[in-house]
Chains A and B, each alone.
Chain A
C-alpha cells in the first residue's frame, strides 16, 4: 500500500473512533506538553537567573568574605594586582529596625563606599548616591529602596527626611533603583545603604568590612585572578601552608555555574517525569491497539485473503499507532506552549523554546507510536486468515 493512502486511512480511523483516539492520545499529549513546558520554562528561568546574576555580580568580579576582612586588605590586593580595576566593601549589618514618624520596619542594612553604585550595580532613581566625602566623614546619610520608601513615607517625599536606624538618626538622600526579588527570595527594594564608615562606627562599632567585591579587567581570567587574591589573603591573614582558609571567595563564573547546575537538575527531573509519562502512554496505546486488532480480526483476514502480506498488515497497524501518537504529540506541543506562556506571564520569565526541543518532542511521539505499535502489529500480521475469516 502506498504511503499517502496509508496515512490517509490511519487518520480516518483516528477521526472515526474519536473517543478511543482521545484515550490513546492523552498520555502522549501530556508527556510531550511536559517536555515542551519544561524546556521552555527551564530555559527561560535560566536566562532570567543568569541575567540576575550578571546584574548582582556583574561579569568579571571576585567576591571575598571573612569576619577578619578589612578595607586595608582590599587596598593591598588592588596595590599588588594591576588587573583589579575597582573594589568596594559591603558591610552587611543584617536585620535592623528603621523608624519614621511612628512606623517601623525590620530591614537589612549595608555599608557601601562611594563607588558602590558601579561595583555593586546599585544606582539611585531619586536624590544622590553616597559620596567620598560621606565616607570620609562617616556621614549619617541613607539610601532606601522603593518599597521601604512607600512603607515609611507613602506618597510623601522622603528625600531630606530623618529616619532612625537603631535609634541613630540618618538623613535620607537617595531612593534606590528597583531590583525586585533576588534568587534568595529577599526583596531588594527594602534595602537600606549607608556609608561604609557610618555603618562601622555609628551602627556596628567595628573596623572590619566583612565582604568586598573586586572587579577585574579581563572576564576570561577571573578564576586565575581569584586564585591570586586567595594567595594574598592567606599571606595577610597568616594562614600556614595546609591550614584551611578563614575566608570565602567566589567569582561570577562560579555563581553562573551554580545556576546552570540548578537548571540542569531541574531539567533532568522534568524530562524524567515526561519520559515516565510517555512510557505509560506507550503501554496504554499498545493495549488499546491489541483490543483494536482483536476487534478487526475479520478485516485483517479479509485483507490477507485479498493479498496483503504479513509486512503490509504490520505496517498498517504501526502506521495507525504512529499517527495517533504523532497527532497527540502535536497537540501536546500546543498544550506545553500554552502552559509555558501562562507560567512565563505569571512569573515574568522569558519564553525560551528552541527548534531542537520541538523536534525532540516530535521524535519522541513518533518513537512512542512505533514502540507501542510493535506488539499489536506483530499479532495482527501473524493472524491465520482462515481463522480470521471464520
Chain B
C-alpha cells in the first residue's frame, strides 16, 4: 500500500545550519495493516506524516502509494490523491465551526465529482459507522471532544481512502475518550482499513499490529505482532 525508499527531507532556516529531519528512510505498510509510528517530539514524525499525506514533498527518494509513484506530483495532482486516497485525522480535530457534523463529513466529497444525493447519503453512513447517528445535525460546539474526533474520523473514511493517517488522534482527549477512539480505529482496521497512527504515547502505540520507532530521522522496527 505504502512503500518509501531512501526518503530524505531537510529544512534550512535562514542563518541556521541545514537540519536533516528525515535521513534515507525506508518504510512500507501493507494493505490492511495498523501501524503505529512512535517517537519523541522533534524526531521527524510530523514531517514523515506530511510527506506520507502528500501535504509536503521529499527532497529525494521514492514514494509509492497504492502502486503509483507520487513523490514528485504537481500540487493539483497531489490534491486529487489526498482527496481520493488519504483520510486525515488530526490532533486538534480541525472541524469547521458552526457547521453541522454531516456538513463537516461532506467536506472532502465537495472536492470530488460525486452527486449531491451521494454526498448526503455517504456522510450519513460514515457518521453511523463511528456511532454518531444521533448527532447528525449537531454543531462541533455541541459535541464532546471524543465525539468531535469521531466526526473527524467519519470525515476521514467517507471517501473510502487507501490509508487513514492519524496524527496524535488522542492527544487532545481524556483517557476514556482516547480509549474509545483507539477502539474505533481497531474496529475500522478489522473491517479492512489500512491505518497509520503517529503518537508519542507507547501505550496507544501498543494497540497497533506493528510499531515503528522514529528517532533523529531514522526508523527502527520495534514490535511486530500478528493482528488481533
Residues of A in contact with B (beta carbons under 8 Å apart): 1-2, 5, 16, 298-299, 301-312, 385-386, 389
Contact = CB atoms under 8 A, between A and B. Distances in A.
Interface in B70-116: 75-76, 79-80, 82-84, 88, 90, 94, 96, 98, 107-108, 110-112, 116
Interface in B53-75: 53, 55-56, 75
Nearest to A13: B98
22 contacts: A2-B110, A5-B110, A5-B116, A302-B107, A304-B55, A305-B53, A305-B82, A305-B88, A305-B94, A306-B88, A306-B107, A306-B108, A306-B111, A307-B80, A307-B83, A309-B80, A310-B75, A310-B76, A310-B79, A311-B76, A312-B111, A386-B50
A309 B107 contact: no
Contacts of B75: 309-310
A51 to B, nearest CB: 56
Contacts of A389: 55, 90, 94
A305 B55 contact: yes
Contacts of B210: none
Contacts of A306: 82-83, 88, 107-108, 111, 155
B84 A299 contact: no
A302 B96 contact: yes
B111 A309 contact: yes
A302 B50 CA distance: 13
Nearest to B119: A5
Given A2-B116, A298-B94, A389-B55, A307 B76 contact: no
Nearest to A301: B94
A302 B111 contact: no
B198 to A, nearest CB: 14
A15 to B, nearest CB: 11
Given A302-B107, A385-B55, 11 more contacts: A2-B116, A298-B94, A301-B94, A302-B94, A303-B107, A305-B55, A305-B88, A305-B94, A306-B82, A306-B111, A307-B82
Given A5-B110, A386-B56, A389-B94, A308 B79 contact: yes
Nearest to A304: B79
Q: What are the nearest 9 A-B pairs in CB distance?
A: A307-B83, A306-B108, A307-B111, A309-B79, A1-B110, A302-B94, A385-B55, A307-B82, A308-B111
A5 B110 CA distance: 9
Which of B84, B90, B96, B110 has the most chain A CB atoms closer than 10 A to its own CB? Answer: B110
Interface of B: 50, 53, 55-56, 75-76, 79-80, 82-84, 88, 90, 94, 96, 98, 107-108, 110-112, 116, 155
Nearest to B56: A386
Contacts of B107: 302-303, 306
A1 B111 CA distance: 5
Nearest to B75: A310
A358 to B, nearest CB: 33
A271 B43 CA distance: 63
A16 B99 CA distance: 11
Contact of A307 (B79, B90, B116): B79
Nearest to B81: A307
B3 to A, nearest CB: 22
Which of A5, A305, A386 has the most chain B CB atoms closer than 10 A to its own CB? Answer: A305
Nearest to A309: B79
A307 B75 CA distance: 10
B40 to A, nearest CB: 18
B223 to A, nearest CB: 29
Contacts of A5: 110, 116
Nearest to B92: A298
A299 B55 contact: no
B191 to A, nearest CB: 22
Contacts of A310: 75-76, 79
A307 B112 contact: yes
A278 to B, nearest CB: 31
Contacts of B98: 16
Given A299-B96, A302-B94, A302-B96, A307 B50 contact: no
Contacts of B112: 307
Nearest to B90: A389
Contacts of A298: 94
B74 to A, nearest CB: 10
B19 to A, nearest CB: 15
Nearest to B49: A386
A389 B53 CA distance: 13
Contacts of A308: 79, 111
Nearest to B82: A307
A288 B189 CA distance: 45
A2 B80 CA distance: 16
A311 B74 CA distance: 13
Contacts of B84: 307
A315 to B, nearest CB: 11
Nearest to B47: A386
A1 B79 CA distance: 14
A244 to B, nearest CB: 76
A301 B107 CA distance: 13
B55 A307 contact: no
A162 B130 CA distance: 104
A2 B117 CA distance: 13
Nearest to B106: A5
Nearest to B116: A2
Contacts of B111: 1, 303, 306-309, 312
A196 B155 CA distance: 95
A302 B75 CA distance: 15
